[in-house]
């Protein structure tokens, strides 16, 4: 199975935590104070009393790499541990602290934390093996780093839309604790009770006497104070939020639009050389048999070239080091290398498809009596290919590995994985390795796996110089860990009244995971069968944005639409009817959510999405509306789409409405909407064009010339993103807005043309009508 | 904040590097397709005249990034598809990955670093005001393409924008906001 992070709601404030062991206050040389917070246990128990014990750590360890610094200059520096890959987290997470501290946002400076052995942070020792492609369930496959902190199971990671649900509550407490300390400092200065003081706009106020003191003037006193006891700190009531829920422009926007070197690919240090790493294109292959490295070494601009023998998680290959990226790229064209191609050269997408179809042909064997006597039974099969994450910044990493220490600059979603892989590749201990987390040019799940960092580190170690490893676009595509391909063999039964009574989704996955779990109509009074089959493949796979859900939603929400039409019913009404029938006590759609809760949250947003689109309006042939909904990563999202299909089959997505219920608070409204808009485009893009084929055990498509993604002219003409606030704790947004868009659009295509799309990509289905 | 004094133009001179196997300069094997020899080229980038020594086939993308430290120019595909490396050449938006340094002499290059003196071109401001970026990797290329559009077509329609921006990939899907930001910038420029 792929790794799918599940959001976990942190316990409510004031629950089973002695915050004196959670925070440390430090006076800073030259003025100011720092409030650090302790690393605690894994996400699910981030604030639980037993977390530290479970993690094998002392109850409190001060980590200066994670804190708020309040300076005498009025600048409040907030360090953030979540890597920024385009999800807006470098802005959103500090906003939570700033809200609780009542610090004016313009006074905030945000800095990305590195993993720094020079701090007192509990750094992990090398143990186990780093996660490989396709490896690992929750916490598995990444056995190296045991660096518990506030980021959940994976230190300094961002994946699975977990940042907000895991960090919201702890960050509130950090901000609120700082606020209480500052109030106390002011109260002592004025000789008034703390209860008479309040905070606003980076200042403490004593309104009774009309006095105020800016935080910058309170830091000296604050630094001498004890950290308040647990019951003395109460975070704000969300209804009193002033900053959260507003639109805040990303903290690095000005740097982005002026071309500042924020990304991994932009990093440079003196003495650095540029490297490429040629690997065997066949998955699961073996050693280098021959390579003309002696010839390549003599080329101008080439500093070195050598064969790398697989070690520490790095595969066999050839490294070429040049004086510029182009020198290394150019020399690579002169490289003549042969590999032991291993046992997988017979693998092909055609053969995998055949095997999957054979498994699908047996699907009915498991149906038993589920469809006996059912008035109307419909069959359909769906398929989706491998796709690439294709972040626009190809993988790269700058590594400076010395005999006894290393420094790494990595564009990553998962700094802990970088660390554990670098340890395995270099044999260094964690105390000797510093990992700088740069901004990443896209992630989408790819940069949870930091194989490129291990390769850069090993090449630097072998060459004895700092190395920036640069993958070409072709490397990035060829050596991706792909979204698994899959097939769905579905059967649905409708009774005489047009109600859904039986449902079978036989999922056949290629490479593992990805076939899509049924989150619906499970638990809704429908006899449900969801057996699964597996086609083995050497093609490496891993989490791709909204893993499983990104394809599962399309398969299930499309087939429900088919059933509605077969029953002669309005698809919206048909789906709402099923939603209205939750079976209490039945295990819910995902991660223990009950059908009852699912029903309540989903019904509200499905209705609103339909209303906002103008569901049911009379449209000419060639135009149509579709609706779909899905819950994943704790977020409930419904999307309604309206499309136009010309007679010659040209699709225009006119309008997409998304309605999301991700809890009672939207952290950054601008960032949240942007995630929704982007996920809709991403979901359409991967539905419309790209596919990857395997021949002779290797990838056929290698660049955007063959692997087509969506450009502006094909983007929806109008996208609306709405948020419905429910009483639930906030959850993430990077992923849940993606899955519903493909089925909403495909259902709209059917309404417009009568053509059902059952294959990704859309280019495989002609939409011509007459 | 991210990385080692990366803003500074750190020289990355090969001569400073001592490797166990230094590059040879003689007797290249006949089996190899020989590189054309490196030459000195005089370039005009962002109004500055600079000399770069490079092989004549070196794409300006890498000259700008590696030799001259204009890292706002981004590598995405290297094959003229994604637009992340878009710069202005004599006022027109072009893909720097497709321009060898041997064809660069006598032309005026402008990168995102040189689009405005203070990072306050109306497009740069609009990009921040609309919070366009997600990962941001493509956005310098998007802005450079949009700047050329606005020079040609000061008040573009949605269709004009779609057409002109149709070869700049945003993997994060920020097209909606890019359109809006271009309109905002166009309005600001018209008001001046």
CATH of the domain at A85: 3.30.365.10
pLDDT tier, B9 (very low <50, low <70, confident <90, very high otherwise): very low
| Alpha-carbon span B140 to A257, nearest angstrom | 6
- Render pLDDT for A692-726 as a digit per residue (tens, 0 to 9): 999 999 999 999 999 999 999 999 999 999 999 99
| Residue-by-residue DSSP string for A678-714 | HHHHHHHHHHHS--B-EETTEES--STTTS----GGG
CB contact under 8 A, B113 and A263: no
Residue A126 belongs to some domain of the structure: no
CB contact under 8 A, B17 and A249: no
Per-residue confidence (pLDDT) for residue A118, from 0 to 100: 61
Beta strand pairing call for B92-95 and B86-89: antiparallel
Per-residue confidence (pLDDT) for residue A225, from 0 to 100: 87
Distance from CA of A249 to the nearest CA of B (A): 5
| Residue-by-residue DSSP string for A124-169 | PPP-S-PPPTT--STTTT--S----BTTBTSTTB--TT-HHHHHHH
pLDDT tier, A70 (very low <50, low <70, confident <90, very high otherwise): confident
Per-residue confidence (pLDDT) for residue A593, from 0 to 100: 75
| Alpha-carbon span A501 to A524, nearest angstrom | 9
Query: What are the tokens at A189?
Result: 């200065």
A209 and A314: one domain?
no
Per-residue confidence (pLDDT) for residue A149, from 0 to 100: 41
Q: Is the pLDDT score of A82 beyond 70?
A: yes
Residues of A in contact with B11 (CB under 8 A): 270
What distance, in Å, lies between the first and last C-alpha atoms of chain B?
Answer: 36
The neighbouring-strand residues paired with A199 are A204
- Render pLDDT for A161-202 as a digit per residue (tens, 0 to 9): 988 988 898 889 889 989 999 999 999 999 999 999 999 999
| Torsional class of B141: left (φ above 0), alpha (ψ -120 to 50), beta (otherwise) | alpha
Distance from CA of A243 to the nearest CA of B (A): 16
Question: Is the distance from CB of A51 to CB of A153 less than 8 angstroms?
Answer: no
Residue A102 CA, chain-centre distance (Å), reads 29
- Render pLDDT for A227-239 as a digit per residue (tens, 0 to 9): 887 678 899 999 9
Per-residue confidence (pLDDT) for residue A47, from 0 to 100: 28
Per-residue confidence (pLDDT) for residue A372, from 0 to 100: 94
In this prediction, what percent of chain B has a pLDDT beyond 90?
80
In this prediction, what percent of chain A has a pLDDT beyond 70?
85
A382 and A323: one domain?
no
CB contact under 8 A, A268 and B12: yes
Residues of A in contact with B31 (CB under 8 A): 292, 295
Task: Pick A258's closest partner by Cβ from B2, B4, B119.
Answer: B119
CB contact under 8 A, A327 and B79: no
Q: Is the pLDDT score of A517 beyond 50?
A: yes
The least confident of A102-106, A188-192, A357-361, A753-757 is: A357-361
Determine the number of helices (DSSP H) and then strands (DSSP E) in chain A.
Answer: 16, 28
- Render pLDDT for A465-496 as a digit per residue (tens, 0 to 9): 999 999 999 999 999 999 999 999 999 999 99
Residue A674 belongs to some domain of the structure: yes
Per-residue confidence (pLDDT) for residue A229, from 0 to 100: 75
A754 and A660: one domain?
yes
What is the homologous superfamily of the domain B122-191 according to CATH? [2Fe-2S]-binding domain (1.10.150.120)
A298 and A422: one domain?
yes
Q: Output b/e per residue, A605-642; b: 16+ Cβ within 10 A.
A: bbbbbbebbebeeebeeebbbbbbbbbbbbbbbbbbbb
Interface predicted TM-score (ipTM): 0.90
Question: Is the distance from CB of A115 to CB of A156 less than 8 angstroms?
Answer: yes
Domain-by-domain residue ranges, chain B?
38-114, 122-191
Choosing among B135, B159, B182, B185, which should be mutated to test the A contact, i.e. which has the most A CBs within 10 A?
B135
Per-residue confidence (pLDDT) for residue A592, from 0 to 100: 64
Task: Pick B16's closest partner by Cβ from A87, A271, A436.
Answer: A271
Strand order in the sheet with A302-308: A302-308, A317-322, A273-278, A467-470, A396-401, A406-411, A433-438
Q: Of the residues A248, A282, A307, which one is the last residue of a structural domain? A: A248
Residue A498 CA, chain-centre distance (Å), reads 39
* B38-114 topology per CATH: Ubiquitin-like (UB roll) (3.10.20)
Distance from CA of A690 to the nearest CA of B (A): 13
A220 and A328: one domain?
no
In this prediction, what percent of chain A has a pLDDT beyond 90?
70
* Residue B155 CB neighbours (<10 A): 11
Q: Of the residues A214, A248, A282, which one is the last residue of a structural domain? A: A248
| Alpha-carbon span A168 to A172, nearest angstrom | 6
| Alpha-carbon span A530 to A478, nearest angstrom | 32
CB contact under 8 A, A270 and B12: yes
φ, ψ for residue A722, nearest 5 deg: -120, 150
DSSP A720: E
Task: Pick B167's closest partner by Cβ from A254, A393, A711.
Answer: A711
What distance, in Å, lies between the first and last C-alpha atoms of chain A?
Answer: 44
Distance from CA of A274 to the nearest CA of B (A): 9
Distance from CA of A459 to the nearest CA of B (A): 13
| Alpha-carbon span A746 to A108, nearest angstrom | 45
Please state the rounded mean pLDDT for residues A101-123.
Answer: 78
Distance from CA of A613 to the nearest CA of B (A): 18
Sequence-ordered alpha helix ranges (H) in chain B:
60-62, 122-129, 139-152, 158-164, 175-191
Q: Is B108 helix (H, G, I), strand (E, B) or coil?
A: strand
| Most confidently predicted of A56-70, A150-164, A227-241 | A227-241
A370 and A295: one domain?
no
Per-residue confidence (pLDDT) for residue A595, from 0 to 100: 87
CB contact under 8 A, A390 and B171: yes
Pairs of CB atoms within 8 A across A/B: 296
- Render pLDDT for B11-59 as a digit per residue (tens, 0 to 9): 333 333 333 333 434 455 555 666 678 899 999 999 999 999 999 999 9
- Render pLDDT for B112-146 as a digit per residue (tens, 0 to 9): 999 999 999 999 999 999 999 999 999 999 999 99
**Residue bearing the bigger pLDDT, B168 or A47:** B168
Please state the rounded mean pLDDT for residues A578-600.
Answer: 79
Question: What total number of domains does chain A contain?
Answer: 3
User: Closest chain A residue to B62 measured between Cα atoms?
Assistant: A326
Q: Is the pLDDT score of A155 beyond 80?
A: no
A102 and A223: one domain?
yes
Task: Pick B67's closest partner by Cβ from A270, A324, A709.
Answer: A324
CB contact under 8 A, A436 and B3: yes
A549 and A457: one domain?
no
Please report how the helices A549-566 and A669-688 are oriented relative to each other, as an axis angle in degrees rounded to 10.
70
DSSP A10: P
CB contact under 8 A, B128 and A249: yes
Please report how the helices A549-566 and A571-579 are oriented relative to each other, as an axis angle in degrees rounded to 10.
110
Distance from CA of B122 to the nearest CA of A (A): 11
Choosing among B3, B74, B98, which should be mutated to test the A contact, i.e. which has the most A CBs within 10 A?
B3
Beta strand pairing call for A500-510 and A532-535: parallel
Choosing among B2, B28, B81, B98, which should be mutated to test the A contact, i.e. which has the most A CBs within 10 A?
B2
B159 Cβ contact list (under 8 Å, min separation 6):
none
A511 and A556: one domain?
yes
User: Closest chain A residue to B116 measured between Cα atoms?
Assistant: A258
| Most confidently predicted of A38-52, A609-623, B14-28 | A609-623
Instruction: Report long-range pairs for A237-242 (Cβ below 8 Å, ≥24 apart).
Output: A238/A664, A238/A665, A241/A99, A241/A665, A242/A99
- Nearest to A519, CA basis, from A491, A486, A483, A550: A550
Distance from CA of A363 to the nearest CA of B (A): 37
Residue A131 belongs to some domain of the structure: no
User: Closest chain A residue to B9 measured between Cα atoms?
Assistant: A268
Q: Which domain holds residue A84?
A: 19-113+156-248
A697 and A634: one domain?
yes
CB contact under 8 A, B78 and A297: no
A228 and A376: one domain?
no
Residues of A in contact with B169 (CB under 8 A): 392, 704, 709, 711
Q: Give the DSSP H/E element, type plus range, for residue A173.
A: helix A163-190
Q: Of the residues A224, A248, A272, which one is the last residue of a structural domain? A: A248
pLDDT tier, A500 (very low <50, low <70, confident <90, very high otherwise): very high
* Residue B146 CB neighbours (<10 A): 29
Residue A293 CA, chain-centre distance (Å), reads 39
Per-residue confidence (pLDDT) for residue A313, from 0 to 100: 95
Residues of A in contact with B143 (CB under 8 A): 257
What's the mean per-residue pLDDT of chain A?
A: 86
| Alpha-carbon span B104 to B42, nearest angstrom | 8
* Residue A333 CB neighbours (<10 A): 11
pLDDT tier, A58 (very low <50, low <70, confident <90, very high otherwise): very low
A589 Cβ contact list (under 8 Å, min separation 6):
A518, A519, A520, A522, A523, A595, A598, A631
Distance from CA of A258 to the nearest CA of B (A): 5
Q: Output b/e per residue, A207-218; b: 16+ Cβ within 10 A.
A: eeeeebbbbbbb
DSSP A88: -
Residues of B in contact with A85 (CB under 8 A): 135
Q: Is the pLDDT score of A424 beyond 70?
A: yes
User: Closest chain B residue to A717 measured between Cα atoms?
Assistant: B176
A383 and A445: one domain?
no
CB contact under 8 A, A303 and B23: yes
Q: Is the pLDDT score of A450 beyond 90?
A: yes
Question: Is the distance from CB of A235 to CB of A100 less than 8 angstroms?
Answer: yes
CB contact under 8 A, B31 and A295: yes
């Amino acid at each position: 199975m792929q790794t799918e992070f599940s959001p976990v709601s942190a316990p409510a404030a004031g629950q089973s935590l002695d915050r004196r062991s959670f925070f440390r206050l430090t006076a800073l040389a030259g003025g100011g104070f720092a409030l650090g917070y302790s690393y605690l246990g894994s996400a699910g128990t981030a604030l639980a009393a037993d977390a530290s014990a479970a993690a094998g750590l002392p109850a409190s360890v001060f980590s200066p790499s994670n804190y708020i610094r309040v300076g005498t200059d009025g600048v409040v520096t907030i360090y953030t541990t979540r890597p920024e890959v385009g999800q807006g987290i470098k802005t959103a997470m500090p906003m939570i602290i700033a809200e609780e501290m009542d610090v004016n946002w313009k006074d905030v400076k945000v800095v990305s934390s590195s993993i720094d052995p020079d701090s007192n942070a509990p750094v992990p020792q090398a143990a186990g093996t780093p996660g490989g492609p396709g490896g690992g369930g929750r916490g598995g496959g990444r056995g190296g780093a045991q660096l518990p902190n506030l980021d959940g199971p994976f230190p300094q990671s961002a994946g699975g839309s977990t940042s907000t649900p895991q960090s919201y509550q702890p960050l509130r407490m950090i901000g609120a604790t700082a606020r209480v300390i500052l109030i106390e400092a002011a109260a002592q200065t004025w000789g008034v009770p703390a209860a008479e003081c309040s905070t606003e706009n980076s200042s403490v106020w004593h309104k009774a006497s009309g006095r105020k003191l800016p935080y910058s003037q309170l830091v000296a006193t604050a630094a001498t104070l004890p950290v308040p006891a647990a019951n003395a700190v109460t975070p704000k009531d969300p209804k009193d939020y002033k900053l959260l829920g507003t639109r805040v422009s990303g903290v690095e926007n000005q740097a982005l639009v002026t071309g500042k070197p924020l990304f991994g690919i932009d990093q440079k240090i003196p003495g650095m050389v540029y490297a490429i790493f040629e690997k065997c294109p066949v998955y699961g292959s073996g050693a280098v048999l021959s390579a003309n490295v002696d010839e390549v070494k003599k080329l101008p601009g080439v500093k070195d070239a050598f064969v790398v023998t697989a070690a520490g998680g790095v595969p066999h290959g050839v490294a070429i080091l040049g004086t510029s990226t182009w020198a290394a790229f150019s020399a690579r064209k002169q490289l003549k290398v042969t590999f032991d191609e291993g046992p997988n050269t017979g693998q092909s997408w055609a053969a995998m498809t055949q095997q999957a179809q054979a498994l699908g042909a047996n699907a009915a064997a498991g149906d038993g009596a589920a469809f006996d006597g059912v008035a109307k039974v419909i069959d359909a099969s769906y398929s989706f290919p491998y796709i690439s994450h294709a972040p626009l910044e190809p993988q790269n990493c700058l590594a400076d590995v010395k005999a006894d220490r290393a420094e790494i600059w990595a564009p990553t979603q998962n700094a802990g994985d970088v660390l554990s892989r670098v340890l395995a590749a270099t044999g260094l201990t964690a105390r000797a390795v510093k990992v700088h987390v740069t901004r990443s040019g896209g992630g989408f799940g790819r940069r949870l796996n930091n194989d490129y960092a291990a390769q850069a580190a090993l090449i630097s170690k072998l060459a004895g110089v700092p190395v920036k490893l640069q993958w070409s676009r072709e490397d990035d595509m060829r050596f991706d860990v792909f979204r698994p391909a899959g097939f769905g063999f579905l059967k649905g039964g409708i009774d005489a009244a047009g109600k859904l009574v039986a449902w079978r989704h036989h999922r056949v996955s290629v490479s593992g995971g990805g076939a899509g779990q049924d989150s619906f109509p499970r638990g809704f009074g429908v006899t449900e069968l969801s057996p699964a089959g597996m086609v083995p493949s050497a093609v490496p796979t891993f989490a791709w944005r909204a893993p499983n859900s990104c394809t599962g939603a399309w398969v299930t929400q499309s087939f429900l639409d088919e059933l509605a039409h077969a029953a002669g019913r309005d698809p919206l009404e048909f789906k709402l009817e099923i939603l209205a029938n939750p079976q209490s006590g039945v295990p819910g759609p995902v991660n223990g959510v009950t059908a009852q809760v699912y029903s309540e949250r989903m019904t509200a947003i499905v209705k609103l999405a339909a209303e906002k689109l103008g569901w049911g309006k009379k449209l000419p042939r060639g135009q149509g509306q579709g609706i779909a909904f899905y819950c994943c990563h704790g977020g409930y999202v419904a999307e309604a789409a309206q499309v136009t299909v010309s007679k010659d089959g040209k699709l225009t997505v006119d309008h997409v409405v998304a309605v999301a219920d991700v809890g009672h608070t939207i952290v950054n409204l601008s960032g949240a909407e942007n995630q929704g808009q982007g996920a809709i485009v991403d979901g359409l893009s991967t539905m419309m064009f790209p596919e990857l084929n395997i021949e002779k055990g290797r990838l056929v498509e290698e660049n955007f010339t063959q692997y087509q993604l969506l450009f502006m002219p094909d983007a929806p003409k109008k996208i609306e993103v709405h948020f419905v606030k429910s009483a639930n704790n906030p959850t993430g947004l990077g992923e849940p807005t993606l899955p519903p868009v493909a089925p909403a659009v495909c259902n709209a295509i059917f309404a417009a043309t009568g053509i059902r799309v059952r294959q990704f990509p859309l280019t495989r289905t002609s939409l011509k009508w007459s | 904040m991210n990385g080692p004094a990366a803003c500074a133009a750190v020289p990355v001179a090969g001569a400073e590097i001592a490797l166990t196997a230094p590059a040879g300069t003689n007797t290249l094997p006949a089996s190899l397709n020989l590189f054309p020899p490196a030459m000195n080229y005089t370039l005009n980038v962002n109004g500055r005249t600079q000399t770069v020594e490079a092989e004549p086939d070196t794409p300006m993308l890498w000259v700008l990034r590696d030799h001259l430290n204009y890292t706002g120019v981004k590598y995405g595909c290297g094959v003229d598809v994604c637009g992340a490396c878009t710069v202005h050449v004599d006022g027109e938006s072009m893909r720097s990955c497709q321009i060898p340094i041997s064809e660069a002499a006598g032309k005026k290059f402008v990168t995102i670093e040189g689009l405005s003196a203070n990072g306050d071109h109306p497009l740069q401001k609009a990009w921040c005001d609309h919070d366009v970026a997600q990962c941001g990797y493509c956005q310098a290329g998007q802005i450079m393409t949009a700047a050329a559009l606005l020079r040609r077509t000061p008040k573009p329609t949605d269709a004009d924008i779609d057409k002109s921006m149709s070869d700049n990939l945003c993997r994060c899907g920020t097209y909606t906001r890019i359109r809006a930001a271009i309109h905002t910038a166009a309005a600001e420029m018209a008001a001046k």
